[in-house]
Structure 1
């Protein structure tokens, strides 16, 4: 069984991914212009608008969200670790890309982009490293 911290991390990370997944599906142009919402233009500054790419990105983030939230609900360590591996397979290349492509942003945006994409690596690593909760076996008479 998972520890409570693992379930919380999976649920929070899943909810964040759900927002990042739904937004470009509902409004690809809005996501392109306004992501992340509190600072604008992170996506727009990185290249021309591509609705197909944004809808694919939204769908994949929504799928990742379903896996993360599902793992939190199911509650087993094996499923949590599977979800963490899936998140790392997305998060590591995403972070590495941004690590080398932030020079055209303002300094505050550089920091925010690297911190937020870095969390996409740190959260799943924590889920992988937190040991599962031991299930005690009933004493035999």
Structure 2
């Protein structure tokens, strides 16, 4: 079984990823122009609008978010680790890309972009490294 902290980390990252996935599916142009919502145009500053890219990103984020929340609910260490690896396979290249492509953003946005994406790497990494709970042996087991 997973530890409670692992479940909380997976659930938080999953809920964030679900919201990140719904927005581009429900309002692709709004996501392109306004993501992350509290600053302006992180996606639009990186190139021309491409509805295919935006919809694909939304769908993949929804899929990953569903798996993260599902792993938190299921509570098994094996599932948590598998989903954490999947999250890292998305998050690490995403972070690497943005580290090399933030020069056109104001300095505060650079920090927010890289810092925010670093969190999406650190959470599944922590979930991978936190050991699972030991299975408890019942003392009332019959021989």
Q: Which TM bucket (shorter chain)? A: over 0.9
2:76: which partner in 1? 76
Residue 16 of structure 1: CA displacement?
0.3
1:19: which partner in 2? 19
CA distance in 2, matches of 1:40, 1:105: 10
SS across alignment from 1:45: helix
The CA RMSD over aligned residues, in Å, is 0.9
Count matched residues.
Answer: 141
1:48: which partner in 2? 48
Residue 40 of structure 1: CA displacement?
1.2
CA distance in 2, matches of 1:115, 1:136: 39
Residue 138 of structure 1: CA displacement?
1.8
Deviations 1:32-74 (A, max 9, x none): 0000001010000000000011000000000000100000010
Moved over 4 A (4+): none
Q: Which runs of 5+ in 1 are unaligned?
A: none
CA distance in 2, matches of 1:49, 1:24: 12
Alignment map for 1:107-122 (pairs within 5 Å):
107-122=107-122
CA distance in 1, matches of 2:40, 2:23: 14
Q: Give the TM-score normalised by structure 1.
A: 0.98
2:99: which partner in 1? 99
Residue 97 of structure 1: CA displacement?
0.2
CA distance in 1, matches of 2:112, 2:67: 26
Deviations 1:60-115 (A, max 9, x none): 00000010000001000000001100000000000000010001100000000000
Q: Give the TM-score normalised by structure 2.
A: 0.96
